[in-house]
Amino acid sequence: MPANIDFTILDKIKAPADPVEPPKAERKYKTITSIQNAPEAPPEPLGAIYNKLAMQEREAAARQMEVYRAHQEATKRGELLMCEITKGITRGEEPAWLLLKACEVIGGMTGDVLFHEQNRKNLIAIHGAGLLEPAPLDMELQEIRQRLTMLTRPELDNEPADNRARIERAIKAHKERAAYLEEQITKHGAQAARIAQEGF
């Protein structure tokens, strides 16, 4: 016979209290009725939508035209430089100048705007200042002369005294560097000509 089960303990267990709802002012959610009753935004007029789309299409077309124009200009410039390189080789022009033109063509074809400038700086630093080759020295000399032209503009005479002193120091340093480069170009240019003439 099964043992008697005592169910009196169940009378001692209290049922959980009903959850207390927060006051309506504290509720953070929207009821379905409030969402349904919310005023809907008026639909955008079709004319405004068409105008926006037309404006976006015009902007996209303008961007495409600009890209195409830049590509056309780069192509024309590349063709011109290629002709100059070919003519320069046949005329016996300085290879360093032809190399820079070739770097400009490559940069234009690949879209790498820094390729030409970086190689020009390396050519001047390594083959000019480092190896004292006349053509890269001449490239640096041309740059210095351009900067001197900018530094000696008449309107800079009206600069304040401290700015004018800095400009004067820069002019002096540029003139000294230009004189040094001219000396090296003459010296090493004569050596290169002698080596080419004598064959050693």
pLDDT in tens, 66-89: 989 988 998 999 999 999 999 999
Number of structural domains the chain divides into: 2
pLDDT at residue 11 is higher than 50:
yes
Q: Which domain holds residue 120?
A: 60-131
Listed range (9-18, 83-92, 153-162) with the worst mean pLDDT: 9-18
User: Given 131, 163, 192, which residue is the final one in a domain?
Assistant: 131
**Residue 88 and residue 103 in one domain:** yes
Distances (CA, A) of 120 to 30, 148, 192: 68, 20, 21
Q: What is the pLDDT of residue 35?
A: 54
List the one residue out of 149, 160, 124 whose CA is nearest residue 139. 124
User: Given 81, 114, 131, which residue is the final one in a domain?
Assistant: 131
Note whether residue 43 is domain-resident: no
pLDDT in tens, 17-51: 555 555 555 555 555 555 556 567 677 788 888 88
**Residue 98 and residue 71 in one domain:** yes
Q: What is the pLDDT of residue 31?
A: 57
**Residue 200 and residue 141 in one domain:** yes
User: Given 131, 146, 168, which residue is the final one in a domain?
Assistant: 131
CB atoms within 10 A of CB 115: 17
DSSP symbols for 59-99:
HHHHHHHHHHHHHHHHHHHHHHHHHHHHHHHHHT--HHHHH
Q: What is the pLDDT of residue 66?
A: 92
- The rounded mean pLDDT for the chain is 84
Is the distance from CB of 109 to CB of 78 less than 8 angstroms? yes
Report the predicted TM-score, pTM, of the whole model to 2 decimal places.
0.64
Is the distance from CB of 127 to CB of 100 less than 8 angstroms? no
Q: What is the pLDDT of residue 43?
A: 77
Q: Is 39 helix (H, G, I), strand (E, B) or coil?
A: coil
**Residue 76 and residue 138 in one domain:** no
Q: What is the pLDDT of residue 79?
A: 95
Q: What is the pLDDT of residue 30?
A: 56
pLDDT confidence band for 176 (50 / 70 / 90):
very high
